[in-house]
């Protein structure tokens, strides 16, 4: 079996049915084969019915379900990094989703760069979609300039 190109790491805690949209959006990617990516779904000790919804995907070829005691988002993502087999990692919160062709677009844009950062500009709420301005000039950054460019924006300063 060949190594997947992407590992998608999804952390879920007490999301109930919401997590199904995140997983579905990964499974239903267009323009990229299922063997090119794996989906690692971590139930981080949910006390609601989240695990039941996640287990609906247990027969999906490229989905691996990990049920663990609650350790928090950072520790869960760190475990995902350890478990991942993909060449590139993509973190997705359990209540978010990927556009139907996100992986094929991302794969076609990777041309040997070792770090690709793309901020999300749209924030969805119950009754509206909000677009927040964030422009990162497309260029090669050294580590110091990259930190200056990204950490100066509030969405990168938030700790969850």
Could you read off the pLDDT of 121-142 as tens digits, one per residue? 555 555 655 555 556 676 666 6
pLDDT at 157 over 50: no
* Confidence grade of residue 28 (pLDDT, cut at 50, 70, 90): very high
Residue 105: give the domain boundaries.
6-114
Q: Considering its fold, how many domains does the chain have in total? A: 2
| One domain, residues 24 and 77 | yes
pLDDT at 156: 44
Question: Which domain CATH number covers 76?
Answer: 3.90.550.10
Tell whether 53 is covered by a domain.
yes
| One domain, residues 39 and 79 | yes
| One domain, residues 86 and 145 | no
pLDDT at 10 over 90: yes
Distances (CA, A) of 93 to 80, 97, 139: 12, 8, 27
Tell whether 1 is covered by a domain.
no
| One domain, residues 61 and 137 | no
Residues 6+ apart with CB under 8 A from 137: 149
Round to whole Å and give the CA distance between 137 and 78.
Answer: 29
Mean pLDDT, residues 82-110: 92
* Confidence grade of residue 100 (pLDDT, cut at 50, 70, 90): very high
**How would DSSP label each residue in 117-159?**
-----EEE-SS-EEE------SS---HHHHHHHHHTSHHHH--
Across the chain, what does the average pLDDT equal?
84
Tell whether 101 is covered by a domain.
yes
| One domain, residues 64 and 107 | yes
Distances (CA, A) of 84 to 39, 65, 76, 78, 158: 9, 12, 12, 10, 25
Round to whole Å and give the CA distance between 132 and 123.
Answer: 8
| One domain, residues 19 and 30 | yes
| One domain, residues 86 and 121 | no
């Amino acid at each position: 079996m060949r190594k997947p190109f992407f590992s998608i790491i999804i952390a879920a805690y007490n999301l109930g049915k919401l997590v199904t949209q995140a997983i579905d959006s990964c499974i239903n990617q267009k323009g990229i084969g299922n063997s090119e990516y794996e989906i690692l779904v971590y139930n981080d000790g949910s006390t609601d019915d989240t695990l039941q919804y996640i287990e609906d995907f247990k027969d999906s070829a490229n989905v691996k379900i990990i049920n663990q005691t609650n350790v928090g988002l950072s520790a869960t993502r760190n475990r995902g990094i350890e478990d991942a087999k993909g060449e590139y990692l993509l973190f997705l919160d359990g209540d978010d989703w990927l556009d139907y062709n996100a992986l094929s677009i991302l794969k076609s844009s990777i041309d040997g760069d070792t770090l690709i950062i793309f901020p999300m500009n749209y924030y969805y709420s119950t009754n509206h979609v909000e677009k927040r301005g964030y422009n990162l000039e497309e260029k090669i950054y050294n580590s110091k300039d990259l930190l200056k460019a990204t950490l100066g924006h509030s969405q990168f300063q938030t700790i969850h």
